[in-house]
Structure 1
């Protein structure tokens, strides 16, 4: 049972939600993290292979959700593994999305404070974004999907426009030789790149809201495909313009690339403002979806009170968790932890549930 019988989304909106969820903080840090892990200029290959792995995992999540039409993970997990084990899985999912929401607003606050609003207390920036999220989320998933449909085309246009300007400093030799150390460094980089595609876990919930759930497979593949293009092009352009030696020393290499632009006779000088404006919009959509899924989990788990009450109740929890992070290193440490928690959501949980469902004869609609 959904919180609102009219709260349905199209397959296109589902794809846009997946894309918007994936495109978060990673777009600013991925060139550094993957280059550190790979140690060569072949990070873009690891990013591409990581996207293919993410698509395979997305197929698994969709197949599991389609076994229980109209239900989210919070509901069918208890049907498969029983009340208490299902409760643990659901609480884990709620905790994951709550922590991820805290991570998103803190990361946004750190970047905004450093590059845009140095005189504004970070607590104010986080609070404003969090209240804006609550205002959107209380309306359900449909307003979130419609907002993402508006924001994503703007994001694509501005991002590629800004990235295209980076070709002025681009040197193809910075990406050569390809596979100079073989495939092993690229394989090592798969861990980092796969974590960058976290957001697939939304497909444990979104098919329940889709007006055409049979289109969920196309939605997840399209939803992952767009970030694959984003990430691959970002890594190629950033490394090609800055070299791997510079990239590994920069906290946010994508922003530093944009700040290096010098175009004479052009009205604007600070081009990173365009990138950051787009990025903040993406953070907002990711935060809103995390906030929504955490509140939905509590509403469906306890089946007491209104959905909106849980959304409001999560506000101080998310804020305090974000406020507890003292430095940017704490933010990155939490991001790494969330990466591994997300892997549990997209690998361990679906595999276990599929296996148990098969053992109990629940596959192919035998018991839904």
Structure 2
């Protein structure tokens, strides 16, 4: 099976657009669940330190992936991995990444339908919610990477403004004592939480695919740094405010602690006194963003594997994603799926790129030789 580039995937995006895509990829359901997941791992108020260290690990992994991709200019991971490990093993690696992307899309789809069904559209069948999600994402994805980037550029600042506003207002119930003492039980609880927090930055692996379309690929480190720094700030604010308002034990008792934080206060006199509706709508947009870009990348993988147009694969993958999303029996099973995704990401995007980089360097692959292929 020969991996070939096709004309529908040659559009370019700017460095800033690539960073926005990476940011929107990361800011999915994680912002709603990170405080609880991190509290389960750390069990002390030092969760914010684990978030910082987890972000640093994600940036380091992203720079390794950049170093690998820059050796094969103009090619995505699906196109160059076979040049390193051979055609058939490369196909297997590509299929593994595609399966991972489909599962991430399914996780976001199920999380979105769960949140929407509980807080916004109570009693609405999940299939109806998912169908709306499906067709809006499909419409955007068929427009290509440039359309996705422009759309995300609109979503990102709106999300940022309302998120910061919600967090600032929640300062009325913030108690700094809930964040003390710092390192009261030593450094080991913080280290124990690094894996959980680092996995919240799932999305940095998009550099393996985005770099092929960035108009200035040598600025890939800027994409990684910007694309990870913005979610890091969001996650840090979310964790500090939720722990400060609810305490570690209070966070452990909630499935969606960030939403519960925003629901815990109201602003009398406003047309809409509770802000959770705004935060929910905006974060559904973020889950929609993650779903769209993972759907697009998964279809791109098949498109480049078979040398066919991307649109048929976009349509075909919807049924696969819907089936996977329907498998978890309850919300706890959804969280377990997210945890397993994180474990898979450790090997696919933590260890594998480093191994491929060393193997490529040992064989002298990449560079100017690739441009001749």
**SS of match in other structure, 1:197:** coil
Aligned: 1:44 with 2:48: yes
1:113 to 114, 117, 125: 117
Q: Counterparts of 1:149-168 in structure 2 under 5 Å?
A: 149-168=153-172
Aligned match of 1:104 in 81, 104, 108? Answer: 108
Do the aligned residues in 1 keep the contact of 2:263 with 2:276 (CA within 8 Å)?
yes
TM-score of the two chains, using structure 1 as the length reference: 0.97
Indicate the residue corresponding to 1:321 in structure 2: 324
Deviation, 1:325, is 2.2
Instruction: Report what 1:351 is aligned to.
Output: 354
Cα distance in 2, alignment partners of residues 151 and 2 from structure 1: 29
Q: Structure 1 residues 337 and 57 mapped into 2: Cα distance closer, same or farther (>3 Å)?
A: same
SS of aligned partner of 1:51: helix
Determine if contact 1:127/1:319 at 8 Å carries over to the other structure.
no
Name the structure 2 match of 1:308. Answer: 311
Aligned to 1:63: 67
Distance in 2, matches of 1:140 and 1:14, equals 13
Contact 2:8 2:309 in 1 (8 A): no
Q: How far did 1:3 drift?
A: 4.3
Unaligned runs of 5+ in 2: none
Question: Cα offset for 1:341?
Answer: 1.5
Contact 2:6/2:309 (8 A) holds in 1:
no
Q: Equivalent residue for 2:210?
A: 206
Equivalent residue for 2:286, pick from 267, 282, 300? 282
How many angstroms does 1:264 deviate by?
2.5
Secondary structure (helix, strand or coil) at the match of 1:243 reads helix
Does residue 1:341 correspond to 2:347, yes or no? no
- Measured after TM superposition, the shift of residue 105 of structure 1 is 0.5
1:361·1:367 contact (CA, 8 Å) conserved in 2?
no
Q: How does 1:65-80 map to 2 (within 5 A)?
A: 65-80=69-84
- State whether structure 2 residue 7 is matched by structure 1 residue 7: no
Q: Distance in 2 between matches of 1:355 and 1:348?
A: 11
The correspondence for 2:27, drawn from 12, 19, 23, is: 23
Query: Match of 2:247?
Result: 243
Using the TM superposition, name which of 263-272 and 214-223 deviates more. Answer: 263-272
The total of aligned residue pairs comes to 367
Alignment of 1:150-299 (within 5 A): 150-299=154-303
Q: Is the 8 A contact 1:72 1:204 kept in 2?
A: yes
Preserved CA contact (<8 Å) 1:123 1:323: no
1: distance between equivalents of 2:236 and 2:7?
38
Q: Is the 8 A contact 2:179 2:243 kept in 1?
A: yes
CA contact (8 A) 1:201 1:345 kept: no
Give the C-alpha shift of residue 365 in structure 1: 4.1
Offset of 1:216 from its aligned partner? 1.2
1:92–1:5 distance in 2 versus 1, CA, 3 Å: closer
Change beyond 3 A, Cα 1:2–1:218: farther
Question: Could you list the per-position Cα deviations for residues 154-183 of structure 1 after superposition, in whole angstroms to 9, with x for gaps in the alignment?
Answer: 010010001111100001111111110010
2:364 paired residue among 341, 361, 364: 361
Q: Which structure 1 residue ranges, 5 or more long, are not aligned?
A: none
Give the distance between the partners of 1:336 and 1:203, measured in 2 at CA.
Answer: 22
SS at 1:325 equivalent: coil
CA distance in 1, matches of 2:77, 2:10: 20
Distance between the aligned counterparts of 1:212 and 1:250, measured in 2?
44
Deviation readout 1:12-34 (Å, 9 max, x if unpaired): 00000110000011100101111
Residue 66 of structure 2 is aligned to residue 89 of structure 1:
no
TM-score, normalization by structure 2: 0.96
Runs of 4+ residues over 6 Å off in structure 1:
none
Contact 1:18 1:202 in 2 (8 A): yes
In structure 1, distance between residues paired with 2:338 and 2:287: 14
Cα distance in 1 for partners of 2:25, 2:347 equals 17
